[in-house]
Amino acid sequence: MRVSGYRLAMLRAPLRLPFKTALRQVDEVEDVVVLLESDCGKLGYGSAPATRAITGQDHQSIMTSLVRDLLPALDGRPFDDLGSVLALFDQLPKDNVNARSALEIAVFDLAAQASGLPLAAFLGGGSSLPDTGITVSVDQPEVMVAGALDAVDRGFATLKLKVGGSGDGDIERVSQVAAAIAGRARIYLDANQAWTSDQAVGVIHALNKRGISIDLLEQPVPAGDIAGLARVCLALDTPVMADESVFCDEDAVSIIAAGAADIINIKLVKSAGITGALRVADIAADAGISCMMGCMLESAIAVGAAAHVAAARSAVIKRVDLDAPMLCRQSPIVGGTVFDGPRIELNSTPGLGIDAVPGLEFL
């Protein structure tokens, strides 16, 4: 099988509610979609969102990198040796992890289809996943309470509360949500780098004094403040998870060496695709550190791929936070992984199992 052509498109999916973090507000999923055409009639899908606040990339830079650097290297190349195909990418500019991730997903989709296996099985893993939690955006306490109650009514047993305002304000937000859903769901907090280490420790201690148990604290301090992250990790009984501090395998090694995280959050975009994500997972496994598979605010194409990777490394990826498709009013993807409330069901068909993506805006 060889790549015989490609198409690029935009996928847009309105959200149920605005998505608000300490870094940004978003009203719809907007992904660049890569469709790889093969000479045997198969079609591989990949996608990536713009994540300027995290990776520095917007839609235009993603498309430019794909067309200028990445896609030309694949033209006509056989997929018999996937390793040699992926090795090509390592010889190309590495400044656009979003573009690399989108193309890698499409490449793996085609390769798994050619093997006749679902992607998770192609990667050597199983087919089951734990339930996912869901995000409640940072907002006024009463708005967050309403969002939390809606989530638990939909069956979610883990809520990720976005925080990162003032310490006192965050304590009040979390306290009101915890009171409203008491006994119905676990709570973990994601500050998106917005606190200092002292603030992070102070907020968790204050919540603990109110009898509120936090299941997990995600990236409380700026990504580069590894010493601060380590201080938080040392000071708290609450598990601390590194997100923006870990993009690649080198970052994972540094975080683990510094004792700066109990858990690592893997995302395909951060890791420049599936191969990078697998490297991070394997390094964490060797160090006895567990992982979560997360996602950006992106479509079920890339989130489906992330779900397959999580199933392929289920021994180390013990949690998943793959809620983006459930934050949309509806998924525009036909076929593929099914996201049904907290439950995720991988396709049993080859590759990602995507039959069609109606409504794409071809570029």
Cβ partners under 8 Å of residue 251, min gap 6: 245, 280
CA–CA separation, 202 vs 158, rounded Å? Answer: 23
DSSP state of 122: H
Query: Which residue is listed with tokens 């045997």?
Result: 40
Annotated active-site residue 267? The verdict is: yes
CA–CA separation, 65 vs 55, rounded Å? Answer: 14
Nearest Cα to Cα of residue 7 among 48, 43, 35, 47: 35
Q: What are phi and psi of 250, to 5 degrees?
A: -65, -40
The answer to whether 136 and 328 are in contact (CB under 8 A) is no
Q: 3-state DSSP call for residue 142?
A: helix
Q: Would you state the structure tokens that stand for residue 327, as one six-digit string?
A: 């934050």
Q: What are phi and psi of 222, to 5 degrees?
A: -55, 150
Catalytic member of 20, 267, 270, 318: 267
Catalytic member of 20, 160, 162, 270: 162
Q: What are phi and psi of 300, to 5 degrees?
A: -70, -10
**Residue type, position 243, single letter:** D
CA–CA separation, 286 vs 200, rounded Å? Answer: 29
CA–CA separation, 213 vs 174, rounded Å? Answer: 10
Annotated active-site residue 160? The verdict is: no
Spell out the SS3 assignment of 294-331: ECCCCCHHHHHHHHHHHHHCCCCEEEEECCHHHHECCC
CA–CA separation, 322 vs 337, rounded Å? Answer: 11
Nearest Cα to Cα of residue 90 among 266, 309, 273: 273
Which H or E run contains 286?
helix 274-287
Give catalytic residues, as residue numbers: 162, 267
